[in-house]
Structure 1
Amino acid sequence: MRDINRQTNSLFAHPGADSVRGLNYRSLFEAVPVPLLVVSPPHWTVVAANDARLRATGTTRSEQVGRRLFDLFPDDPDDPAADGVQNLTASFRRVLNTKSPDTMAVQRYAMRDAEGRFEERWWSPVNVPVLGADGEVAFILHLVEEVTETVRLRGKAEAMDRLAHDQQRVINRLIAAEAELRRSEEFSSRVLASSIDCIKVLDLDARIEFMTEQGMCVMEVDDFEAIRGTLWPDLWTDDGREKALAAVASVNAGDVARFQGFARTMKAAPRWWDVVVTPINGPDGRPEKILVVSRDLTAAKRAEDALRISEERLRDLNTTLEGRVSARTVELEQAQDALRQSQKLEAVGQLTGGVAHDFNNLLTVIKSSTDLLKRPNLPEERRARYVGAISDTVDRAARLTAQLLAFARRQSLKPEVFDAGASVRAISGMMSTLAGSHIEVDIRLPDAPLFLNVDPSQFDTALVNIALNARDAMDGEGRIDIVVTAVETMPAVRSHDAVNGDFVAVSITDTGTGIPSDRLDRIFEPFFTTKGVGHGTGLGLSQVFGFAKQSGGEITVESKVGEGSTLTLFLPRADDVGRTVGEVEPEGHQDGQGICVLVVEDNAEIGSFATQSLAELGFVPVLASDAAAALAELAKDASRFDVVFTDVMMPGMDGIDLAHCIRRDHFGLPVLLTSGYSNVLAKNGTYGFELLRKPYSVGELSRLLCKTVDLRRRQTVRDGSTS
């Protein structure tokens, strides 16, 4: 024990021990607020322990001093603290070898309480060498901070982050503590001078008694005598003075205080400080002096304020940019709308010009023929020729209108289920004739039927239009291949995604001149043609495009200049629920045979012409100017009518709604619809009603009226025999 006392006395005794007005290094050692042990190698005996260590461990000085450091922890290899002892041994060896401080990782120890039970504690240890006169390690300063509550409350990961910062602060304090334990005041002065903190010693009245050189530099003090005796709280501004007074009061009560605030330097420059205030206890354990450690955080504070201002400016800038982007987006959308409108107007202009050109040609023929028919004494042969010209021209005008409606997907389709291969086989002869003798037409069909549910006449027309374009691309000689196959995907084309499903693909390939890439996107436009004047209207492929789209399909084109082109028509595949093979539709009669027809037509001229024509053909027509008038006629006596012939487009109730009313209230009375164009029919079909497209001939009207009546009569007979 005498040896321990001798080592302790030699540790704290040195010539300059009373240099701070009676303050000795033992007092400073006891005043350090961090638990501190001084260990003597090679037996690692504890030669000194400060009050903070005794308070932290709940032990007396006799229970700490004179014992081996490792005896203060359990030495049972199965104990949870065994790894901590091993880590401590390894750290001491590193200190001896390097003569440098060693910071250990956060350690978990199981300390025994008063009743001998283990209690789990967490510590952050640092081991610092104290060199003797010979330059060798005379003592090791073992400093720890207990972080048990931090680890428990915040979890291990968060505690590690905080401890990294705390350990740095501990090292800074440890440098000052090491200087206080050194035998040389000169050495302690150098250590204190190396601290980046402003370290001051106050009396219990908070008057400045001592300040390190670094502190004087930071506080901009040229002569310490100018600040000696100054009341430390008076240096603070704003609420900092109240915080400083409160800290002094806490230290006088034996506690440790910490706060942040603004304090002026001796040259009146305000700076932001982080301050730790601790008591320096005397031999009786009561506060004797006050230790103040201040760190200048002005730069960090300014950086924080600058960052905050930058963030605010960035938010304002983002808000401004968002507003500008929004405005530019609106401008861009308006420009795009204007461009689309311009493109639409251009397309409408092109379409209008094409329609006007072709219809003016047709009207010229009709007008000229009617003028010639008005001439007196016109021979019958010429009269018949002019009447035929008018009839043929009307048919051409009807086809032109149908092609335009097909492109616009506004035609009234009459879908039926049929075998695509059989339909292609049926028109193959006509295709060969149209192609000419020097063009070979090869057709490859699947072994099994592939059924479609589309308008069969429009399907045939589409294939013929594609074949005609293929023929014209080969200059009278070449080859056309037509292939019908089943596919499971309709490819992506014209900004539309690919569609998976069951489809029938009909490909027509020619060996013609091909289509330049800059024209591929225009070949389906109405009236666009590369043929010479008088060699096509430019409506053939537009009909194919409209028919495919309206039927739920697609048309694609692949072409290489000089090698030919392939156009593929994709249509949805259907189940085999079509008409029974061998079933024959009844033929219509040529005359009315007294059939009573309710004619519903809002156009007076067409209504008058239709009733007069029907009367001449042997029908008994009754004219109603609209749907309301027709319902009134039916309300009088519906049994007198054999069929209702109604226009679709009418003001008020249209022909579709009228037909539904008749089907509901007068079941068994057939309805024949007629229309030149109807958006409802284009979207939804005919709802099961027969349809006669305008313009129609009197013969077509007569045949379809008789057919409609015959079908209803046959259905009535079948229903009667079944019942």
Structure 2
Amino acid sequence: MSTPPSGPALPSRRPAETRQNEPDFCGLFHAAPAPYLVVTSQLIIAAVNDAYLRATMTERDAIIGQHIFEVFPDNPHDPQAHSTANLSASFERVLKHRVPDAMAIQKYDIRLRDSDDFEERYWSPVNTPVFDAEGQLTHILHRVEDVTPFMADRSRLAAAEMHNDEQAIEIRLANSRLREAKVELEQERDLRELFVLTLTHDLRTPLAAAKFASQLLFRKGSDPAEAQRLSARIAASLDRCDRMIGDLLDANQLRSGKKLSIEVEPLELTDLVEDVLAELSTLFGDRFVLRAPVPISGLWSRMQLRRMVENLCINAVKYGTAGRPVSVSVREQNETVALEVHNEGPAIPAEDQARLFEPYHRRAAHQNGSEQGWGLGLTVVNGIAEAHGGKAAVISNTDEGTTFRVTLPLRPPAEA
């Protein structure tokens, strides 16, 4: 092994002084704390320092003059071992390109002294070419660092990496949920803005009608018949406002996850439906067809069932084909009663059907159409059904039109 050339001699020093102060490179090599091994260009071990002997559990006399891969073979008990191939490739790169080669961390197991067993080790090697005075590459300085302590607990590292991966997945999912929540909040904001506009429109109409009728009543109050007619119109307009506000309050209650409170009493459902249809006929004409073969009695809330029937029928008139009949059927089956309201007209898209009973939801086709509404009627219908222990559903297709079906037990559960 050659030593690096010394710098130019200082004029004030004599050659004898320079030799006297020159370091003992052989002593430095053996005393170096890092493990070093020197091999010839034929990969024969030429020198080794004490740190390397300690790290590899070998003795100097036993390895000097030996081929490096005879002294340090692959672990025969590890079918995945390819340490010698990797180190040989690094030596070949040094010999070919004549520059140092830093290797990635290598698993290179070391044979135990006086045994055929191997100890698992991990190393960080650097191989450096050594040249003689003529520039010929004569040796390779093989320096290693034992990094086994950092790699020993592979299961811990793998678990940490898996945990990090899981956390990364959770973060991505959380970000995705946040984006979805942002979209939903923006959609809800838009719906609420639409709701405020529609609220203004819907409440203004009956209030204006009541105001106009009251003005007429003030001028024509001397005519008993006219006074009665105008008073009835005022009452009807105010009743409509009251229903709207009731729907709004109930929808907000349902949106918060609470059930509607009901007070049940013995009722004959067919009579109740007939009364509601008679009242609606004064507004919409003779469009309702009732199919109720037999009287059906049960325990229900009179006020809430009236609202339910009104909302279903008004919805059928609003979104069904103009001028076509609206069929209402009531029938008993297996301790339950089924109320169905059917209208002809375009089918409700499947994506809308899934959300029809949500508050403030209106069909996409009617978002910007002429039909006005809060999107609360069907929410209230479903809430009334659930308060009685029942459920509401919709069936809609192009061939048969749309049917809303409410199924109620004859007697609601005790908690209802």
TM-score of the pair, normalised by structure 1: 0.33
Moved over 6 A (4+): 13-17, 79-82, 342-351, 412-415, 430-433, 444-453, 456-470, 486-490, 544-550
Q: Does the C-alpha gap of structure 1 residues 458 and 61 become closer, same or farther in structure 2, counting only changes over 3 Å?
A: closer
Is 1:572 paired with 2:406? yes
Conservation of the 8 A alpha-carbon contact between 1:102 and 1:128: yes
User: CA offset at residue 37 of structure 1?
Assistant: 1.6
Bigger radius of gyration, 1 or 2?
Answer: 1
Conservation of the 8 A alpha-carbon contact between 2:95 and 2:129: yes
Is 1:93 paired with 2:92? yes
> Which residue does 1:357 correspond to in 2?
212
Separation in 1 of the partners of 2:155 and 2:312? 76
Deviations 1:80-108 (A, max 9, x none): 89633343333333333333333334232
Q: Does the C-alpha gap of structure 1 residues 76 and 32 become closer, same or farther in structure 2, counting only changes over 3 Å?
A: closer
Conservation of the 8 A alpha-carbon contact between 1:442 and 1:481: yes
Is 1:406 paired with 2:243? yes
Q: Secondary structure at the match of 2:99?
A: coil
Separation in 2 of the partners of 1:464 and 1:116? 91
Q: Does the C-alpha gap of structure 1 residues 68 and 357 become closer, same or farther in structure 2, counting only changes over 3 Å?
A: same
Alignment of 1:135-284 (within 5 A): 135-152=135-152
User: CA offset at residue 496 of structure 1?
Assistant: 3.9
Separation in 2 of the partners of 1:36 and 1:83? 22
Conservation of the 8 A alpha-carbon contact between 1:111 and 1:120: no
Is 1:418 paired with 2:262? no
Conservation of the 8 A alpha-carbon contact between 2:45 and 2:63: yes
> Which residue does 1:39 correspond to in 2?
39
Conservation of the 8 A alpha-carbon contact between 2:130 and 2:138: yes
Deviations 1:187-219 (A, max 9, x none): xxxxxxxxxxxxxxxxxxxxxxxxxxxxxxxxx
> Which residue does 1:495 correspond to in 2?
360
Q: Secondary structure at the match of 2:95?
A: helix
Q: Match for 2:243: what amino acid?
A: A
> Which residue does 2:326 correspond to in 1?
482
Greater mean alpha carbon deviation, residues 137-146 or residues 489-498: 489-498
Q: Does the C-alpha gap of structure 1 residues 99 and 482 become closer, same or farther in structure 2, counting only changes over 3 Å?
A: same
Alignment of 1:183-582 (within 5 A): 354-366=209-221, 368-369=222-223, 386=224, 395=232, 398-409=235-246, 416=267, 418=269, 423=274, 434=285, 479-484=323-328, 485=340, 491=356, 495-496=360-361, 517=368, 519-521=370-372, 572-575=406-409
Percent of matched pairs sharing the same residue? 23
Aligned length: 315
Deviations 1:580-624 (A, max 9, x none): xxxxxxxxxxxxxxxxxxxxxxxxxxxxxxxxxxxxxxxxxxxxx
Deviations 1:533-589 (A, max 9, x none): xxxxxxxxx9x99996995699x9xxxxxxxxxx989573334679xxxxxxxxxxx
Q: Match for 1:70: what amino acid?
A: F
Conservation of the 8 A alpha-carbon contact between 1:128 and 1:141: yes
Q: Secondary structure at the match of 2:122?
A: strand
> Which residue does 1:329 correspond to in 2?
none
Q: Secondary structure at the match of 1:23?
A: coil
Separation in 2 of the partners of 1:457 and 1:76? 86
Conservation of the 8 A alpha-carbon contact between 2:313 and 2:326: no
Q: Does the C-alpha gap of structure 1 residues 449 and 31 become closer, same or farther in structure 2, counting only changes over 3 Å?
A: farther
Conservation of the 8 A alpha-carbon contact between 1:123 and 1:144: yes
Q: Match for 1:406: what amino acid?
A: R
> Which residue does 1:69 correspond to in 2?
68
Q: Secondary structure at the match of 1:520?
A: coil
TM-score of the pair, normalised by structure 2: 0.51
Q: Does the C-alpha gap of structure 1 residues 481 and 24 become closer, same or farther in structure 2, counting only changes over 3 Å?
A: same
Conservation of the 8 A alpha-carbon contact between 2:90 and 2:101: yes
Higher relative contact order (CA 8 A, sep 6+): 2
Q: Does the C-alpha gap of structure 1 residues 451 and 404 become closer, same or farther in structure 2, counting only changes over 3 Å?
A: farther
Q: Secondary structure at the match of 1:491?
A: coil
Unaligned runs of 5+ in 1: 1-7, 159-332, 370-385, 436-440, 499-514, 526-541, 557-566, 579-723
Q: Match for 2:408: what amino acid?
A: A
Conservation of the 8 A alpha-carbon contact between 1:41 and 1:140: yes
